Structure 1
Amino acid sequence: MSALLVPPGRGHKERNRAIRLGPVTAEAYRAFLASPTGTALGPGFLQCPSWADVKEGWRSQLLGWGPDPDAGRLTGVALVLLRQFPGTRKYFAYLPEGPVADWAGPDVDDWLDPLLDHLRSTGAFAVRIGPSPAYRRWDASLLKSLTGPGRRLGDVLASEVDPLGAAVAERLRDRGWRRCGGDGNDGDAQPRHVFQVPLAGRTSEDLWSGLNQEWRRNVRRAQKEGVEVEVGSAAELPEFYRLLRLTEERDGFRLGRSLAYYERQYAALNAEQPGRMKLYLARHGGEILAAHTMIAVGRRTWYQTGASADHRREVRPSNALQWRMLLDAHALGADVYDMRGVPSTLDPDERAYGLLRWKLGTGGQVVETLGEWERSLGGTANHTLYRAFQAYLARR
């Protein structure tokens, strides 16, 4: 497939005529991800080429923008996942937490428009993206004192509003994009609210003092009780999955993932870069009581999934695991430790609030991302398929 020359828009500078879109090799794609990318923290793991190997039932494409994509001269990249709509030759295009591009630049249309043109030519009837800028942030110290019946994050004045996030949201609305789930996040495939612990410029002593009193007490309790934390291997994934099923039943949620999914994820991410995904285990008396997964890409590290047993919870294995993972992320040079999704409720009587309360104890921030955005790719047939696809997703 030949690269697409970006047509200059009204008022665009002459230099933007040289921006092109085209397929790129995995090697060129990874080289770009390893370079300064123009995003605040670099790419997320969902935009790594290896993620395509995790997602069964999806086709994938690696695309790049730049003056010469064929030669690896890039200014942005995108992993595009394509899901065929049943009974048709049409596809839903999904860029999880992507594309990886300079959202702060003045000429977003220079790379977004050719992406849409390319997807139409591929047979896509609609597309979903996940812009990287943040929208709002709430410090843990602020939220601890503002809980109450029926209260939600949106009811509390944020500690910080990111002007870039607000500007990108307005740009997308002006161009016909629709925020999935509206003001809520029910329509997002990825969590709109995440919890992040800043690591840059902090010492391990700073991280310890950032934990609240309950967290420090629980970590000390785990150490006193003899909880041992180690990095496991693929051989322990079945035990991790057994504990995950127990956790889902106990806490009333269902991720819907199989053991094969986690085995595929572990193999794909570590084949791309050894040590990219790690499985942490907490043992007590020789028994694995908790297991958490961690993923590292560039200057970011994520706590992805946690699982724990129903018994001996008083020895606090999960606190011990998280403290070790925080220290390891810090030692890797990560700027942020991302604990992934949290609920938007601030009501202590709601069951979901327990997860937020637990993460607040690490002293970080709740970050509201821009969420995911969708649009039909035009034409009556595509609009009809898009509406049918939304109904299909709602049934699932």
Structure 2
Amino acid sequence: MSALLVPAGRGQHHHQGRETRLAPITPQAYRAFLASEAGTALGAGFLQCPSWAQVKEGWRAQLLGWGQDPESGRLRGVALVLLRQFPGTRKFFAYLPEGPVADWADPDIDGWLTPLLDHLRAAGAFAVRIGPSPAYRRWNAALLKSVTGPGRRLTDVLASEVDPLGTAVGDRLRARGWRRCGDGGAGDDADAQPRHVFHVPLAGRTADDLWAGLNQEWRRNVRRAQKAGVEVVVGSAAELPEFYRLLRITEERDGFRLGRTLSYYERQYAALNAEEPGRMKLYLARHEGEILAAHTMITVGRRVWYQTGASADHRREVRPSNALQWRMLLDAHALGADMYDMRGVPSTLDPDERAYGLLRWKLGTGGHVVETLGEWERPLAGTANHTLYRAFQAYLARR
């Protein structure tokens, strides 16, 4: 499937002897590329879908596409760019959450990034942040269960696997003046998106394989939920207020704060499902007529994400969250997904830290922790932009 570029005069780069153009594209062309074989192979995340621009308030959005040949108009990659205006100026901070959707294995990284930087500079951006998709390191569940201890963190443990592509992309970005967020000492907290995520591979596995991959505690808890009569159903927008009520309870109990409002989730649910029906689903676990847990799931191409989970403080012994996750895993598998992404996990391996409980729970599914490349920033050329970038970093630190 091909998509047509909207003509633009900026953002050209010669790629292996052919001209590479970057230009604004329509939402229809963008979605067509994501649904194409080429787009699916690049594995776009939901944060790079056009609908995400409608979720984020306070940002302007641009949809961009890379094409090789202006005559054929065939796209090679796309990007959702969010632009936030720096207070008191006409300049913007450009953010590509978990993007761009590009071929990061292409050794000619300049063929992708140079047109992007040229376009953003012309659009008034003083700095840009990207989130390259390749993984950096992986740790399997069995390894991490064996190395817990006081004060231990993921970085203390030799990875089960180091991704050569992720390593190469990191080296290429550094050589071009990009800085990995957090390398100055703030750690992965400097990333807007989780640097450490948890993946359960689905490709080539049967439902029986997934069940065997759960640890004994998980299998026992799923059976307990089934025996207790926990019912798992797919809800609708009407249940989002109940999901949000449970989320506030969960935040209080587990000591975190996402900072989201009910209207945020309502906007997200409406925008993603308007783009593609069923893209975002709300799963509910009911027991004796009461909703005890609610989790959201997002699907794009052959990837499925468990995004946000919430549960009540009472009747936890019937294990509604385990029942929900098992159903969501099975549904993701039935959809033909290659990967079930359980999103962020903490980097602590200390059982005495409260945050470790989330990692322990996800480890029980038998997947693995992935350290992504994280987010990378650079100011755009010009003394004024560098000055504004330093001011912007100070502004974010105060916030």
- The normalised TM-score by structure 1 is 0.96
SS of aligned partner of 2:54: helix
Residue identity in the other structure for 2:241: P
Residue identity in the other structure for 2:12: V
Q: How far apart, CA to CA, are the structure 1 residues paired with 2:63 and 2:296?
A: 26
Within a 5 Å distance, the mapping from 1:1-396 to structure 2 comes to 2-4=8-10, 6-8=12-14, 13-15=16-18, 18-37=19-38, 42-68=43-69, 72-182=73-183, 184-396=187-399
SS of aligned partner of 1:101: coil
Give unmatched runs, 5+ long, in structure 1. Answer: none
Cα gap change, 1:213/1:360 in structure 2, threshold over 3 Å: closer, same or farther? same
Aligned residues: 391
Is contact 2:11-2:114 (8 Å) kept?
no
Q: Structure 1 residue 35: deviation in Å?
A: 1.9
- The normalised TM-score by structure 2 is 0.96
Q: How far apart, CA to CA, are the structure 2 residues paired with 1:131 and 1:350?
A: 30
- The runs of at least 4 consecutive aligned structure 1 residues that moved more than 4 Å come to 38-41, 68-72
Cα gap change, 1:289/1:89 in structure 2, threshold over 3 Å: closer, same or farther? same
Cα gap change, 1:137/1:90 in structure 2, threshold over 3 Å: closer, same or farther? same
SS of aligned partner of 2:188: coil
Cα gap change, 1:99/1:320 in structure 2, threshold over 3 Å: closer, same or farther? same
Identity of aligned residues (%): 84
Residue identity in the other structure for 2:66: W
SS of aligned partner of 1:185: helix
Q: How far apart, CA to CA, are the structure 1 residues paired with 2:205 and 2:276?
A: 26
Q: How far apart, CA to CA, are the structure 2 residues paired with 1:308 and 1:14?
A: 56
Q: How far apart, CA to CA, are the structure 2 residues paired with 1:69 and 1:94?
A: 27
SS of aligned partner of 2:95: strand
Is contact 1:38-1:102 (8 Å) kept?
no
Q: How far apart, CA to CA, are the structure 1 residues paired with 2:70 and 2:148?
A: 50
Q: How far apart, CA to CA, are the structure 1 residues paired with 2:36 and 2:43?
A: 9
SS of aligned partner of 2:223: helix
SS of aligned partner of 1:19: strand
Structural RMSD (CA) = 1.4
Deviations 1:190-237 (A, max 9, x none): 000000000000000000000000000000000000000000000000
Residue identity in the other structure for 1:292: H
Is contact 1:277-1:293 (8 Å) kept?
yes
Q: Structure 1 residue 110: deviation in Å?
A: 1.1
Cα gap change, 1:70/1:355 in structure 2, threshold over 3 Å: closer, same or farther? farther
What does residue 4 of structure 2 align with? none
Greater CA drift, 359-368 or 20-29: 20-29
Q: How far apart, CA to CA, are the structure 1 residues paired with 2:330 and 2:43?
A: 21
Deviations 1:280-300 (A, max 9, x none): 000000000000000000000
Residue identity in the other structure for 1:126: A
Q: How far apart, CA to CA, are the structure 2 residues paired with 1:150 and 1:227?
A: 37
Give unmatched runs, 5+ long, in structure 2. Answer: 1-6
SS of aligned partner of 1:304: strand
Q: How far apart, CA to CA, are the structure 1 residues paired with 2:105 and 2:9?
A: 24
Q: Structure 1 residue 68: deviation in Å?
A: 4.2
Deviations 1:30-74 (A, max 9, x none): 111112347866100000000000001100000000124696410
Deviations 1:121-163 (A, max 9, x none): 0000000000000000001011111101111111111111000
Residue identity in the other structure for 2:349: L
Q: How far apart, CA to CA, are the structure 2 residues paired with 1:41 and 1:111?
A: 14
Q: How far apart, CA to CA, are the structure 2 residues paired with 1:391 and 1:140?
A: 38
Residue identity in the other structure for 1:230: V
